[in-house]
Structure 1
Amino acid sequence: MSPQIGKLFVMLGLGLALLGAFIWLGGGSALNWFGRLPGDIRVERPGFRFYMPLASMLLVSLLISLIMWLVRRLGS
């Protein structure tokens, strides 16, 4: 395995830890909009609840793609 992959895993782990600490320490209120975007499907009826976060997951996918593109671009 390449040392570059190890560095990538460490950076991703630190990033996730920082995001988790931010949310845990009260910064999560800044993310209340996430999961309530136009395009997120929510159906609530008595005895039934369905939620499909299409727009939120598209946003997450775009963000991860951008991060991976930057890692590849800066790594070479």
Structure 2
Amino acid sequence: MVSIEISGPLLLAAAVLGAAWIYRDAKRRAMDTADMWAVGFFVAFVLLPVLGGLAVFVFYLRNRNRRRGSPVAVPGA
């Protein structure tokens, strides 16, 4: 059987850093749910170490807003 063992302080540090990155990225993309994404990542990372956080991270990357780019002129508008 394969098991993943992570020490408590390392687990908390990784969870906090990941949640902080998700929060900052979501705020930059003007997402109203930035705080919920960060809390969800933290909780998932702590309850299901590594795999829970990875699942939420992948789900976040697939569902986040696109980055705001420079405006594009529309001909005839």
- TM-score class, shorter-chain normalisation, is 0.3 to 0.5
Q: What TM-score, normalized to structure 2?
A: 0.35
Q: What TM-score, normalized to structure 1?
A: 0.35
Question: 1 or 2 for the larger relative contact order (CA 8 Å, sep ≥6)?
Answer: 2
